[in-house]
Amino acid sequence: MTEKKIPKEVYSIITSNFELEERNVISIEDVHRALTFKIRELLDKNVEMLLSILYRIDVGQKITDEIFKNSSKEDIAIKLSDAIIERQLQKVLSRKKYRE
């Protein structure tokens, strides 16, 4: 089974906002893993920065509130990673659609 590659625009947004190491070829699974690790770290050390990044990259308040409600730190990190990647994919697809 091959891993699905993440669009370059999505990867750039995520790596720059979360200060992740950039690589040439990356799968969505790799990004999800690295992002989950970084979010866990921010949950432990700097929740305010995490919330600021979520706002800046346009992950909705309703979604984040739901994720933070009744979840463990591990679940929060995984669910936020899902939401961040999904939102960035939506933005890239939307931009492509309106460019055409």
Closest-CA residue to 7 (of 21, 23, 22, 26):
26
Instruction: Report the pLDDT value the prediction gives residue 25, as an integer from 0 to 100.
Output: 62
Instruction: Report the pLDDT value the prediction gives residue 97, as an integer from 0 to 100.
Output: 81
Confidence of residue 94 (pLDDT cuts 50, 70, 90): confident
Give me the percent of the chain exceeding a pLDDT of 90: 62
- Mean pLDDT on 40-50: 96
Give me the percent of the chain exceeding a pLDDT of 70: 96
- Tell me 3's DSSP state: P
Contact 57, 17 (CB under 8 A): yes
